[in-house]
Structure 1
Amino acid sequence: MLLTPQQVKSQKDRLKQSELEHFSQTDINSLISDRTLFCDNLLKQLWAQFELDKTELALVAVGGYGRKEMFPLSDLDFLILSEQQNSPELAQKISQFIQFLWDCGFDVGAAVRTLAECDAEGRKDITIATNLLESRLLIGNEKIFKKLTALLWPPDFWDRETFFNAKVQEKTERYQRYHNTSYNLEPDIKHSPGGLRDLHLIYWIALRHSNVMTLDEILQSGFIYPEEYSLLQESQQFLFKVRFALHLILKRYDNRLLFDRQIKVAELLGFEGEGNQGVERMMKRFFQALNNISSLSDLLTKHYREHFLRQVSCGKIEALDSNFAIQNNEIVLRNEHIFMQQPDTILDLFAHHANQPQTEIHSATLRKLHLALSQLQAPLSQQPLAREKFLRLFNLPKAIRRAISPMHKYGVLTAYLPQWKAIEGLMQFDLFHAYTVDEHTLRVLQKLESFLEEDQRELHPICARIFSAFSDRTLLYIAALFHDIAKGRGGDHAKLGAQDVSEFAQQHGFERREIETMAWLVEQHLLMSITAQRRDIHDPEVVLNFAEKVKNKVRLDLLICLTVADICATSSTLWNSWKRALFTSLYEYTNQQFAQGMDELIDTDEQVQDNKKQALALLQSQGFMDDVTALWARCSDDYFLRNTPKQLAWHATLLTDFCDDILVKISNRFSQGGTDMFLYCQDQAQLFHKVASTVAAKKFSIHSAQISTSLDGYVLDTFVITELNGIPLKNARRRELESAITDTLRSGKTPKVGTLGNQKLQHFNVQTEVRFLAMNRSDHTEMELFALDKAGLLAEVSQVFAELGLNLLNAKITTIGEKAEDFFMLTNKNGTALTETERKELEVRLKNQLN
């Protein structure tokens, strides 16, 4: 009976349903094998149905299908091979055969070539050559298939070295697309560093070298050690299982583990727990598998280059000590058993790596290291000599890049610090943290070290100056190493981490004062970030309170370096010019507080005068000669504190001769990473709500709002805004928003904000929380709002303020991934702090509006 596309679709549906029903009880190899067999049998049946079995053609599976790695959404890759060009009649049959498969719902990767074309195309294109090397005869002319195989093995058809170099170059380019890390929180199972493509690289090298295709065959060939085989096999099996599950829940081919998919895949794999625990457990194991594969892929490609491609010479051996030497710019072992005999010498390896910046570590050395680590019975930190060596690493040149980071990559940090194992591959299921906890921690350390580089002086002037002045950076590096080490345990990770670093410091012989400093840094590593971004840092009381917690300038210097590095290492998009201005102001105010003593509040007059002086200098340098005295006489000191000299000068150029009623100007010149919007008009009811609603209606985001009112009742407000995807506004969009806000304020009509859904946000649950701060204030009320972030959130919040007749004095808008953490300063209708009744009503209204 002839098959129809509908019948084949039904067969595919039944197979998928069976896979779903039996997934948790079935070995992943059986699932892949059964699907591959299903495809094999179907193609053979259709080959006969289209009478192609009566020809001299060969049907050959290639690529992943050739490797027998078929997943539910895998492409059906095959080659139809002939000796000579096909006749028009035969070409028509082949076309019908391929079209039938498309009609059945397969994604078909089909090539129709002669032997000569395979030879010519394969020599030109490394991808085609690789597919051909993985070929497997399904049905048809066996003789012609053997001829194809014979074509692939002459020395001049992608010789081993050229093939190897091309594949390694592919890997390098692929790694760059994924920021050279396995730990992106929405990884690609196939292409991310450590993904299946890294496994395939090992397969391809072994295949080209000795014609073996599976891990078992590679093990038998002697190319990998049994310990390496076990780790690769275990990691491969888990990636296979995750990919198979992902394909079962998707309708279209994709290998990206996006957040919404992670939830469904974790359920299918049986990972359970409260909240997001199941997802985080699955992803932790997933990232550990990626790291295993990435490390072993690096090691084995290095091994292949050193032992099979390089012209081995007895190059000069330069002794480094009794255990290590340099040969051919690589660190080799003089005593291959030394890691087993004296485990503390493992740290010597990385000290040499830091001290010899032109060298790499030989693959044989790495393999001995890997073997020794697998047999360690206790943490390295329990050995006194190892502790001394570990601390000395932090004062070596490029200590983080050349010692600590490679130690993490090759598993030495885990072997040294017992707590490190718990954060390896530990993800946080949110939109804020771009990396796993261990990857983030390494990036904090790398960012700290980068403060020593010349190009950081402009981007991070305070941190670059402070960090380069430290004679010993060990305390700060260790605090950074421990700042997030207690994440995932439950409880306050900062307090738990402070306990961990205290125990570590005591074990490593630090003095009491040093221990207290490190513990304080870990416990308070979020203090400066919260104060700068969610408090009114121009309020002297806020500065005094912060200074009292910090206690002295040494701690302040350490804390700002750790804080800035922490922010930069969380996501590449978080640090920008307006945040730099916030942290700079808080740092300078706190230094001023320390200088004058803690008995009284700082006088901000000096900062006001300094900002005016700098703004005047900028105006004069621009050739602006008008008198700004009258304009500035109308402005409160807060205005000069809350705007930078550049902004003050900009405002002056706009307002000196301005005679209209409303001014809205938007520019990209002042905020790196965002767009500045300046609003000047006579104050009016519900002003902030009107602006926030207009911004939301035009599909922009507000990131920062500085609210100022002149002595004669005019607002001089500055906002930092972006497109919804976080990029600054282009010229046409800036002009569009200027017109829209002007129209809103003139008409008095507040635009309605439509519902702007975000697919990612629907997978997160953030309960709205309202906190009131500084309850002793009588002049205003300070409020923190925590809620699920969404487009138009600020418009909804400002609507509640408007309905209750509240006045907004200041706002700081902070988005932490899927979570909004906003700060507002408010007064009631009488211009005073909210009463207890008013606070309660505000809290209830906000929760009803946002939940």
Structure 2
Amino acid sequence: MTEENKLKFEIELQKLFNDFNLFENSYNFCVKHSLLIEEMILKSIKPLSFSCVMAAVGSFSRRELSPYSNIDLLFIFEDLKDAETKVKKCTDNLWDKNIKISYMIHELSDIKKYLTANIRVFTQFFETRFLVGNKELYNKWNNELFKTIESSDIEKLLYEYFNDVDARYDKYGKSSKILEPNVKFTGGGLRDIHSAEWMYSIKNKRLISSQNETTQTEVFFKELLSNGVINREAYKRLYESYEIILNTRNLLHLVEREKSDRLTFSLQGKVAEKIGYSLNNRKEIMYKYFEASTILNRFSKTMMKRYQQALSQKLSDYLSINLDDDFEIKGNILHFKGDRILSISDIMRAFYYKAMNRAFFETNLRTLIIQRIHLIEETKSLEATSSVFFRELLKLPANVGKTLLSMNDFGVLGVLFNEFKALNGFYQEGVYHKYTADEHSIIAIQNLEILNVQNSAEARIFKLLPAKDLLYMAVLLHDIGKTISITGHEIIGAEIASAIMQDLGYGQNEIEFVQFLIKHHLDMKKIALKKDLNNNEVLEDFASLFKSEIELDYLYLLSYADLISVNSMSWNNWKKEQLNKLYSETKNILVNNNSNINIQNLSDEELKSSVIENVYKGTKADVILKETEETVNIMLAVKRSEQILIRIFAGLILNNIVLQTGKLTIENSNIVFCEFNASNEVLKYGPIFKRRLSTIEKRIIESITEEKNLDNEVEKLAAKKIKEQKKSLARIDKIEIDFEDNAHYTEINIYSNYFTGLCYFLVKKMDLLGLTIHSFYITNTKSESTIKFSVLKNNNKKLQKSEYSFIRAELTEGIIAGYNI
């Protein structure tokens, strides 16, 4: 290349960079840029003869060169003798002409070597485009490339790509809604599509690169369309979304005048100015960016799921579990059995099953959901939906945040309640936030769920919450008012939340509670971090917000989740100490203020939380009796131990407690919680026999926690009571026992005549049979009892059907023996 040609090239390059009409189509810009670089290279090396191959690799091969992208070359030789010397003549010539290239030199035998040694180098081997040299050698290289790859290599390479994607996300962020993204490597960036292309090439043993004047990504999308992998609507979304991200990278290079892929806040303004927006109006640019990056990220995940499912072991249809008429699960893959268009209620059910079973959507189901959501968005059609499964999803013990993120990526949350759609991709200015408002809110829920496996102060409070779904709802909607105004968004958000929750079918008390949390979600942070916590007036004023201690628990966890989910620097030891101090001081004030409040004024959820919390903190057992007009409500919590249920029912008998209803659950894996509705009169259901409830509470606790054997005392008292009952019931004339097999336990349903001590004798018999009770439900009338036990054997396995007859006979014998004691 002569100096005249070099100058001409520089002029052409700057002319290209200044032609903003080209930026209306980033594909065209990149192709023209790549062609110009290619022309310059070929002219520069024209005097040299080539027995090897010079090929473009990387973005140069894809014809996707941004203004300051690396220009990567691959030199291929039959053997490497004198190869470095020959290449040096060429590369020196290019560098002399100010063509800044990087290069690799390889021979045919390197294909097999790097197949196992270095996946990134190997990837460049099949992402090449011929420039000049020995075409026969280039064809031989490509033929050898895929001939070398065995079926076992394909699986290994795909898993290496999966790991490479995870490593990239760990470094640059997996969310497609990071406010200062790396446009190439962050989730939803260009590399998501490149990775999908590489997996496609390996899986199908074919090159995607083309000698035509088009980008490799365009070729890839068209091939997926022609092969039926995507439909025309999906092709259009992908094409337009990739163009937006690619154009952002092109503009980013131009404003920085160097290779730069991190789209910082300051550069966002410069990019906006470059295409005619005001410096302060970058929100519109970023909203389009996040919309595009979400589509690319979702597609990348779909393709990876497709390959992962193809690699997984095929399970027999006999191993499918029917969840209902429309859905089944095979292994950990959720399938839709129908061939109709999904409704929103269907989609909600699918996400509920996905969360409940820790499942993945089968590829076709993913596609059906995406198509349905986009059809609703494009036509703006509304349909009547059932929100039951959404409410139930929030009550699940795990996978709530992960599932909500998935729902948001699919656009489901914006369809379910339109107000959230405005929050989707909402740009939060300044360096405080790392994520868009919608992403921040859902990540906050994920950070709360992590507390389930921790033992911090926050974790202990979280595990004792009686209704985590209301906390999740408050966290999900706490910033919903920002779409109208940042200032006062907590007040606006509380009103929007009310409308959303009414549409979702929540009760008025639940709505008002979530409104309270959203309305005050900024207060605790402001006071903890900006006020003097040694000032009693500050503390008393803050404490006056709360009607109960449990409201403080919820607001504390919302404040914690909000703070910790902003960015990596938003939560530190000082903030933690300040928030904890405000919580502790306020808790003490509320405890003192409420010490004289009648227990009758507290809700059942507050009572439940109280007894569980006391046991969690170290109390052996705790009982609260709440008197109503005709019954006594008993809340009982005790640490799980051998024969604890026997002692619980013994304690009830010894204190003349006649059960009407009862249920048991296991809380936090090691706390037994029982709730009973009872009369403390022995033989008839009438007005409560008035006695000091605190005395009964004390006696029940003593019966449960004392180590002495209670069998003789209990059986003696039971015999006395049964003798009286035999005046109206001479013998047991009804015993029915049946079994149900559910996903986790064996259910034993028992129907019998009622008599004092029935539950005591049953749990004692089950203990002798080696059965562990995980929950029960009891309903007693004057003459009959219905009891449902959920059990496992002591080895944590369910009962076999062959064991049902034996267990039935033993339990029947135990009931009769108890009655005849």
Instruction: Give your verdict on TM over 0.5.
Output: yes
Q: Tell me, in whole angstroms, the C-alpha distance in 2 between the residues paired with 1:253 and 1:122.
A: 30
1:38: Cα distance to partner?
A: 0.3
Structure 1 509/356 Cα, relative in aligned 2: closer, same or farther at 3 Å? closer
1:223: Cα distance to partner?
A: 2.9
Partner of 1:516: 512
**TM-score, normalised via structure 1 length:** 0.64
Q: How is 1:352-501 mapped onto 2 (pairs within 5 angstroms)?
A: 352-357=353-358, 359-376=359-376, 386-451=386-451, 453-455=452-454, 457-458=455-456, 461=457, 463-490=458-485, 491-501=487-497
Residue 405 of structure 1 aligns to which amino acid in structure 2?
A: L
Partner of 1:664: none
Q: Tell me, in whole angstroms, the C-alpha distance in 2 between the residues paired with 1:62 and 1:584.
A: 55
Partner of 1:66: 61
Residue 349 of structure 1 aligns to which amino acid in structure 2?
A: A
Structure 1 15/45 Cα, relative in aligned 2: closer, same or farther at 3 Å? same
Residue 22 of structure 1 aligns to which amino acid in structure 2?
A: F
SS of residue matched to 1:22: coil
Structure 1 354/322 Cα, relative in aligned 2: closer, same or farther at 3 Å? same
Partner of 2:241: 235
Q: Tell me, in whole angstroms, the C-alpha distance in 2 between the residues paired with 1:9 and 1:401.
A: 57
> Which one of the candidate residues 498, 503, 527 is aligned to 1:502?
498
Q: How is 1:658-677 mapped onto 2 (pairs within 5 angstroms)?
A: none
Is 1:291 matched with 2:294? yes
Is 1:251 matched with 2:257? yes
1:245: Cα distance to partner?
A: 0.5
Structure 1 267/341 Cα, relative in aligned 2: closer, same or farther at 3 Å? same
Partner of 1:345: 346
Q: Tell me, in whole angstroms, the C-alpha distance in 1 between the residues paired with 2:460 and 2:79.
A: 73
Q: Deviations over 1:411-468 (max 9, x none)?
A: 22122121222222223221111221111101211223333x241x32xx1x333332
Q: Is the 8 A contact 1:271 1:281 kept in 2?
A: no
1:308: Cα distance to partner?
A: 7.0
Partner of 1:330: 333
Q: Is the 8 A contact 2:342 2:372 kept in 1?
A: no
Q: Tell me, in whole angstroms, the C-alpha distance in 2 between the residues paired with 1:135 and 1:35.
A: 17
> Which one of the candidate residues 71, 77, 82 is aligned to 1:82?
77
> Which one of the candidate residues 587, 593, 596 is aligned to 1:591?
587
Q: Is the 8 A contact 1:187 1:258 kept in 2?
A: yes
Q: Is the 8 A contact 1:77 1:108 kept in 2?
A: yes
Q: How is 1:12-27 mapped onto 2 (pairs within 5 angstroms)?
A: 12=10, 14-23=12-21, 26-27=24-25
Structure 1 74/154 Cα, relative in aligned 2: closer, same or farther at 3 Å? same
Q: How is 1:500-649 mapped onto 2 (pairs within 5 angstroms)?
A: 500-597=496-593
Partner of 1:797: none
Q: Is the 8 A contact 1:161 1:309 kept in 2?
A: no
Partner of 1:217: 223
Partner of 1:186: 180
Gaps of 5+ in 1: 599-851
Structure 1 423/10 Cα, relative in aligned 2: closer, same or farther at 3 Å? farther
Structure 1 252/9 Cα, relative in aligned 2: closer, same or farther at 3 Å? farther
Structure 1 560/449 Cα, relative in aligned 2: closer, same or farther at 3 Å? same
Q: Deviations over 1:462-517 (max 9, x none)?
A: x3333322222222221111111122433522122111101112223433333222
Q: Which moved more, 1:171-180 or 1:547-556?
A: 547-556
Partner of 1:798: none
Gaps of 5+ in 2: 210-218, 595-821
SS of residue matched to 2:76: strand
Q: Deviations over 1:266-312 (max 9, x none)?
A: 2223344xx73x22222222122222111111111211333477657
Q: Tell me, in whole angstroms, the C-alpha distance in 1 between the residues paired with 2:72 and 2:37.
A: 11
Q: Tell me, in whole angstroms, the C-alpha distance in 1 between the residues paired with 2:94 and 2:502.
A: 68
Is 1:140 matched with 2:136? no
Is 1:171 matched with 2:165? yes
1:237: Cα distance to partner?
A: 0.4
Residue 3 of structure 1 aligns to which amino acid in structure 2?
A: T
1:551: Cα distance to partner?
A: 4.6
Residue 403 of structure 2 aligns to which amino acid in structure 1?
A: A
Q: Tell me, in whole angstroms, the C-alpha distance in 1 between the residues paired with 2:442 and 2:255.
A: 34
Is 1:110 matched with 2:103? yes
Structure 1 584/122 Cα, relative in aligned 2: closer, same or farther at 3 Å? closer
Q: Tell me, in whole angstroms, the C-alpha distance in 1 between the residues paired with 2:584 and 2:109.
A: 74
Residue 435 of structure 2 aligns to which amino acid in structure 1?
A: Y
Structure 1 195/513 Cα, relative in aligned 2: closer, same or farther at 3 Å? same
Q: Is the 8 A contact 1:379 1:415 kept in 2?
A: no
Q: Is the 8 A contact 1:164 1:205 kept in 2?
A: yes
Q: Tell me, in whole angstroms, the C-alpha distance in 2 between the residues paired with 1:295 and 1:150.
A: 33
Q: Tell me, in whole angstroms, the C-alpha distance in 2 between the residues paired with 1:373 and 1:286.
A: 20
Q: Which moved more, 1:382-391 or 1:200-209?
A: 382-391
Partner of 2:782: none
Q: Is the 8 A contact 1:380 1:415 kept in 2?
A: no
1:325: Cα distance to partner?
A: 0.7
Q: Tell me, in whole angstroms, the C-alpha distance in 1 between the residues paired with 2:309 and 2:583.
A: 52
Q: Tell me, in whole angstroms, the C-alpha distance in 2 between the residues paired with 1:324 and 1:402.
A: 20
Q: Is the 8 A contact 2:387 2:505 kept in 1?
A: no
Q: Is the 8 A contact 2:242 2:292 kept in 1?
A: yes
Percent identity, please. Answer: 26
Q: Which moved more, 1:375-384 or 1:464-473?
A: 375-384
1:315: Cα distance to partner?
A: 5.8
Q: Deviations over 1:116-166 (max 9, x none)?
A: 445544564322322121221112222121111211121536843233222
Q: Tell me, in whole angstroms, the C-alpha distance in 1 between the residues paired with 2:342 and 2:116.
A: 50
Partner of 1:263: 269
Q: Tell me, in whole angstroms, the C-alpha distance in 1 between the residues paired with 2:116 and 2:161.
A: 14
SS of residue matched to 2:432: coil
Partner of 1:639: none
1:64: Cα distance to partner?
A: 1.8
SS of residue matched to 1:520: helix
SS of residue matched to 2:297: helix
Q: Tell me, in whole angstroms, the C-alpha distance in 1 between the residues paired with 2:343 and 2:288.
A: 31
1:370: Cα distance to partner?
A: 1.1
Residue 69 of structure 1 aligns to which amino acid in structure 2?
A: E
Q: Tell me, in whole angstroms, the C-alpha distance in 1 between the residues paired with 2:586 and 2:78.
A: 82
Q: Deviations over 1:181-209 (max 9, x none)?
A: 23332211111112111101121122231
Structure 1 55/380 Cα, relative in aligned 2: closer, same or farther at 3 Å? closer
1:259: Cα distance to partner?
A: 2.3
Residue 234 of structure 2 aligns to which amino acid in structure 1?
A: E
1:37: Cα distance to partner?
A: 0.6
Structure 1 546/501 Cα, relative in aligned 2: closer, same or farther at 3 Å? same
Q: Is the 8 A contact 1:73 1:253 kept in 2?
A: yes
Q: Tell me, in whole angstroms, the C-alpha distance in 2 between the residues paired with 1:18 and 1:378.
A: 36
Q: Deviations over 1:361-410 (max 9, x none)?
A: 22221111111212227999976652222112111121514532322233
Q: Is the 8 A contact 2:478 2:490 kept in 1?
A: yes
1:236: Cα distance to partner?
A: 0.5
Q: Is the 8 A contact 1:324 1:333 kept in 2?
A: yes
Q: Deviations over 1:512-554 (max 9, x none)?
A: 3332222222122101111111111211111222223345433
Between the two proteins, the alignment pairs up a number of residues equal to: 580
Q: Tell me, in whole angstroms, the C-alpha distance in 2 between the residues paired with 1:270 and 1:489.
A: 26
